[in-house]
């Protein structure tokens, strides 16, 4: 028990994350009531049961509470996947990667046992090894590339299972906790930016190269995760501001966008939440102090690595094209014919869209406990080069979306090959096959010692005992 007991702490810095997660779940339920593919009772129960362990992990006062919250959350999430689609690879991978993240968190906590360190987060003075293990646990929870195999990608049929995509919120909660005990900066600055830039660039490419619009939505979410993570590392002492505002934007923007299936020209008012969600995922309106997506583009101009700016540029370019492709897809939603359906749909998406606008224009109303820099400072952070390259990436992304049909038809075979290669499913199969062959020798030995050969070993031991007894 790490010398402690499970404890909760009402920390104001985590209230925006908990509010966004609760609102995303409630809005999904309301929107599902208006659709034909309504949630089944068992799936609805799982969605509601996911909230308590999430809140326990967010408001934990010590590592033991997070370990317990994560373990319960993984079991409930696996039950939800089984209730929704039965046993599949998503269930197994979510349990494996979730358990690995929990073990890393556990291992970092064991390093402090016996050293007289406090078990409370706010009183900790962690070592570099502890921060490294805890950062790895938080990053693993974010489903960043190439640790994205746990992210569910089978949502072609029902957008009502959006809360199953919200597991990264727990990872953001741990990252925010680590920033608070690391002096305000994001730990792991030597290797986290590389993974974040890789997630940002390849996430956008994976989204745009997907065959169907619905299949690219988890990749859009992964691309935005990489953008927020890289901005948090580059923000220095303002990392907590970036994580809080970025996590709220990611959670609500993902929910609003995933709960719709394209624009409806006959009902323009119902398209406003989807447009707001798409703009927020692009970084508009620019939140004060969040370093904005353009901050990464300005890094090369300030002497930073060129690869980070390139990742921001191409990731943003493909993100614009992917969002435009999703919004321009003909909607299959039959429409709202009853007043209660209009009220449920409007409340589910309208409140979330309004909260997104508030968090972007004036985040201090939502994100408390942190100090936001002045607006002029936020706008000057990327520099002229960053803003210019960011605008160019938006413009080229719009051109790519405009020529979507012509470009995709000509390179469709190449896009499919690139998408299959970058998904790393082949690498997963190779690793599993190698492990299976490696365990073959162990299974053969077990078969000889404890399987079919157990009777022969028993007879041999009996004969040895008999010889020893008769030789006396």
Does residue 69 sit in the same domain as residue 204? yes
**What is the structure's pLDDT at 170?**
92
CA proximity to 140, closest of 100, 179, 196: 100
DSSP for 230-252, written as a single string: HHHHHTGGGHHHHHHHHHHHHHH
Tens of pLDDT along the chain (472 residues) come to: 556 677 788 878 888 888 889 998 888 888 877 776 566 777 778 888 889 999 999 988 888 889 889 999 989 888 887 877 665 677 888 888 888 999 988 888 887 665 545 577 777 777 888 888 889 999 999 988 888 877 776 555 566 677 788 889 999 999 988 988 888 888 877 888 889 889 988 988 998 888 877 788 888 888 889 888 888 888 777 788 888 888 888 888 888 888 777 677 666 777 788 888 888 888 776 544 444 554 555 554 455 567 777 888 888 889 998 888 888 877 666 566 677 777 877 788 888 888 888 777 776 666 665 666 666 666 666 667 777 877 888 899 889 888 887 888 888 888 888 888 888 888 877 877 787 777 777 666 666 656 656 666 677 777 788 777 776 6
Output the CA torsion sign for 133, 53, 367, 24.
positive
**What is the structure's pLDDT at 55?**
92
**Into how many domains does the chain fold?**
2
Strand partners, 60: 8
Would 7 be classed as within a structural domain?
no
Compute how many other C-beta atoms are within 10 angstroms of the C-beta atom of residue 411: 12
Would 26 be classed as within a structural domain?
yes
Domain extent at residue 175: 12-423
Does residue 441 sit in the same domain as residue 345? no
CA proximity to 208, closest of 199, 217, 196, 195: 217
Tell me if residue 62 falls in helix, strand or coil. Answer: coil
**What is the structure's pLDDT at 116?**
47
Which residues make Cβ contacts (< 8 Å) with residue 174, sequence separation at least 6? 57, 66, 105, 134, 137, 138, 141
Distance, in Å, from the CA atom of 87 to the CA atom of 468, rounded to the nearest integer, reads 55
The verdict on whether omega for the bond into residue 188 sits within 30 degrees of 0, i.e. cis, is: no
Does residue 417 sit in the same domain as residue 338? yes
Would 6 be classed as within a structural domain?
no
Does residue 391 sit in the same domain as residue 437? no
Does residue 370 sit in the same domain as residue 436? no
Distance, in Å, from the CA atom of 108 to the CA atom of 124, rounded to the nearest integer, reads 12
Would 119 be classed as within a structural domain?
yes
Does residue 231 sit in the same domain as residue 263? yes
Distance, in Å, from the CA atom of 198 to the CA atom of 29, rounded to the nearest integer, reads 34
Would 463 be classed as within a structural domain?
yes
Of 406, 423, 440, the domain-final residue: 423
Would 5 be classed as within a structural domain?
no
Does residue 368 sit in the same domain as residue 438? no
Rounded to 5 degrees, φ, ψ at 9 are -135, 125
Distance, in Å, from the CA atom of 250 to the CA atom of 229, rounded to the nearest integer, reads 11
Compute how many other C-beta atoms are within 10 angstroms of the C-beta atom of residue 266: 7
Does residue 189 sit in the same domain as residue 212? yes
Would 3 be classed as within a structural domain?
no
**What is the structure's pLDDT at 123?**
76
Does residue 80 sit in the same domain as residue 61? yes
Does residue 435 sit in the same domain as residue 404? no
**What is the structure's pLDDT at 446?**
62
**What is the structure's pLDDT at 242?**
83
Would 114 be classed as within a structural domain?
yes
Distance, in Å, from the CA atom of 346 to the CA atom of 334, rounded to the nearest integer, reads 16
Does residue 294 sit in the same domain as residue 442? no
Does residue 390 sit in the same domain as residue 276? yes
């Amino acid at each position: 028990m790490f010398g402690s007991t499970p404890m909760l702490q009402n920390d104001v810095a985590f209230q925006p994350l908990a509010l966004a997660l609760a609102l995303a779940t409630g809005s999904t339920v309301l929107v599902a009531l208006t659709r034909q593919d309504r949630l089944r009772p068992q799936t609805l129960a799982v969605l509601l049961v996911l909230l308590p362990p999430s809140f326990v992990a967010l408001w934990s006062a010590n590592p033991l509470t997070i370990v317990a919250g994560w373990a319960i959350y993984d079991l409930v999430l696996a039950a939800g996947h089984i209730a929704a689609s039965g046993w599949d690879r998503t269930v197994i991978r979510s349990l494996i990667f979730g358990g690995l993240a929990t073990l890393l968190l556990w291992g970092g906590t064991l390093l402090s046992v016996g050293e007289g360190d406090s078990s409370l987060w706010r009183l900790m003075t962690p070592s570099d090894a502890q921060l490294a293990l805890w950062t790895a646990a938080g990053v693993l929870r974010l489903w960043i590339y190439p640790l994205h195999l746990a992210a569910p990608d089978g949502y072609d049929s029902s957008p009502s299972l959006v809360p199953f995509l919200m597991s990264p919120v727990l990872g953001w909660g741990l990252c925010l906790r680590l920033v608070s005990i690391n002096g305000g900066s994001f730990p792991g600055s030597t290797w986290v930016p590389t993974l974040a830039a890789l997630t940002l660039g390849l996430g956008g490419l994976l989204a745009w190269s997907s065959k169907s619009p619905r299949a690219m939505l988890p990749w859009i979410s992964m691309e935005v995760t990489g953008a927020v993570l890289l901005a948090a590392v580059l923000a220095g002492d303002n990392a907590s501001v970036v994580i809080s505002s970025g996590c709220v934007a990611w959670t609500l923007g993902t929910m609003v966008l995933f709960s719709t299936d394209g624009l409806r020209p006959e009902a323009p008012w119902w398209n406003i939440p989807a447009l707001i969600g798409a703009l927020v995922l692009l970084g508009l309106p620019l939140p004060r102090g969040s370093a904005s997506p353009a901050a990464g583009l300005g890094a090369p101009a300030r002497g930073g690595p060129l690869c980070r700016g390139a990742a921001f540029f191409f990731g943003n370019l493909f993100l614009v094209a992917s969002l435009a492709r999703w919004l321009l897809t003909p909607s299959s939603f039959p429409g709202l014919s009853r007043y209660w359906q209009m009220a449920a749909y409007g409340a589910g998406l309208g409140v979330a869209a309004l909260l997104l606008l508030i968090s972007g224009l004036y985040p201090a109303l939502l994100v408390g406990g942190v100090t936001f820099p002045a607006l002029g400072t936020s706008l000057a952070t990327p520099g002229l080069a960053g803003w210019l390259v960011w605008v160019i990436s938006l413009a080229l992304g719009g051109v790519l979306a405009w020529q979507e049909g012509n470009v995709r038809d000509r390179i469709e075979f190449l896009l499919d090959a690139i998408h299959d290669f970058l998904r790393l499913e082949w690498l997963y199969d190779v690793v599993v096959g190698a492990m299976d062959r490696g365990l073959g020798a162990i299974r053969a030995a077990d078969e000889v010692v404890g399987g079919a050969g157990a009777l022969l070993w028993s007879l041999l031991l009996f004969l040895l005992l008999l010889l020893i007894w008769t030789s006396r």
